[in-house]
């Protein structure tokens, strides 16, 4: 019986140790959210090093209200075109796959 009780407490500790609500997330891809005639168009953007993912402070900056991204040339998405220009509506959340 004592071994059983010890076992239970060990499991309990393991369970609660296994679950941590980490608010420190990894890196994520971001995109311009363009409101096109046929719905939202996602235009992938690059980080300052030219990579696809934004991390840490750079991610926080990209999600900030003052962040803007400049497309130097038009982006073609199927039958839609996102014109070159500066955009402030930046999203970094994942989507269904």
Interacting residues toward other proteins by CB under 8 A: 1, 4-5, 8, 11-12, 15-16, 18-19, 21-23, 25, 28, 33, 35, 39-40, 59-60, 63-65, 91-97
- Smallest separation (angstroms) from other proteins to the CB of 20: 10
Task: Yes or no: say if 68 and 88 are a contact pair by the CB < 8 Å rule.
Answer: yes
DSSP conformation class of 73 = S
CB of 72 or CB of 96, closer to other proteins: 96
The tokens for 56 are 């840490």
Nearest distance in Å: CB 37, other proteins = 13
Q: How far is the CB of 31 from other proteins (least distance, A)?
A: 12
User: Measured between alpha carbons, how far is 46 from 27 in angstroms, rounded to an integer?
Assistant: 12
Closest CA to 94 of 50, 38, 42: 42
């Amino acid at each position: 019986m004592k071994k059983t009780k010890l076992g239970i407490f060990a499991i309990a500790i393991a369970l609660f140790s296994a679950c941590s609500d980490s608010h420190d997330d990894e890196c994520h891809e971001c995109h311009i959210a363009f409101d096109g005639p046929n719905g939202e168009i996602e235009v992938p953007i690059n980080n300052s090093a030219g990579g696809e993912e934004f991390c840490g402070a750079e991610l926080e900056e990209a999600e900030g209200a003052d962040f803007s991204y400049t497309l130097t040339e038009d982006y073609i998405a199927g039958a839609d075109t996102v014109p070159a220009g500066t955009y402030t509506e930046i999203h970094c959340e994942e989507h269904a796959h």
